[in-house]
Amino acid sequence: MRSATVERKTKETQISAKVNLDGTGKYTVSTGIGFLDHMMEQLSRHSLMDLDLTAKGDLHIDYHHTTEDTGIAIGEAVSKSLGDRKGIVRYGHAYIPMDETLSRVAIDLSGRPYFVWNVEFTKPKLGEMDTELFREWFQAFAFAAGATLHVENLYGVNNHHIIESCYKGLARALRVAVDIDPRKSDAIPSTKGTLGGSL
């Protein structure tokens, strides 16, 4: 099983994230932020990545540090689970419809972090969570995971549908990208023979 645990402790947050890339989508999530919990559950369920996540953060200030740091911790755990990334499919993408909404997510587990975000919201909050924080989570995840990640909402009206389709898109794209390619399970998926570093 490709799994890893990351403990992240700062003056702002204390986070434990354990992932199993070869799981069945089981999750135990507790961040203190209800909507973020919901999104992490979606990420686990639709990627089939088992996720154990607990976070205690300075929520009396705002949700920024807890949101960003959970992205970092999960991204680091994914990266550790991948090891040298030998045999992985590497690329994944997904189009996710959710009622009136359609979002597209593409990922390359290249070892080179890059992030593109083309998502807009019409409200500043979903529940008590600032919608601007979703970009922070995805960016933190991408850089910590060593992934090139493009997230785009093509159209939609309902803000809940927009962000949930983005998380489900990441989940489905990640599910494909981390799979072992049965035709090249013994090789790094790059002509350079290694992933990461320069283009």
- Is 27 within the bounds of a domain? yes
Boundaries of domain holding 44: 3-177
> Greatest CA separation found in the chain?
51
How far is it, in rounded angstroms, from Cα 161 to Cα 14?
30
Task: Write the pLDDT tens digit of every residue in 105-164.
Answer: 999 999 999 999 999 999 999 988 999 999 999 999 999 999 999 999 999 999 999 999
Side-chain half-sphere CA neighbours of 164 within 13 A = 17
59-113 pLDDT per residue, tens: 999 999 999 999 999 999 999 999 999 999 999 999 999 999 999 999 999 999 9
Length of the chain: 199
d(CA 67, CA 56): 11
Task: Tabulate helix, strand, coil % of the chain (nearest 5).
Answer: 35, 30, 35
What is the number of domains present in the chain? 1
The CB density around residue 16, as the number of other CB atoms within 10 Å, is 16
Confirm whether 188 is domain-assigned: no
Residue 170 lies in a domain: yes
pLDDT tens digits, one per residue of 14-40? 999 999 999 999 999 999 999 999 999
The CA–CA distances, whole Å, from 75 to 68, 79, 99, 138, 157 equal 11, 6, 29, 9, 29
- The edge-to-edge listing of strands for the beta sheet with 148-155 is 91-98, 101-108, 148-155, 114-118
Asked if residue 193 belongs to a domain, the reply is no
| CATH number of the domain within which 164 lies | 3.30.230.40
Do the domain assignments include residue 195?
Answer: no
Backbone dihedral region of 50: left (phi > 0), alpha (psi from -120 to 50 degrees) or beta? beta
The tokens describing 77, both together, are 């755990």
Q: Is residue 103 a contact partner of residue 172, using CB atoms and an 8 Å limit? A: no
Does residue 109 lie within any of the structural domains? yes
In a domain, 78, yes or no: yes
The label of the residue with tokens 């989508």 reads: 25
What is this structure's pTM? 0.94
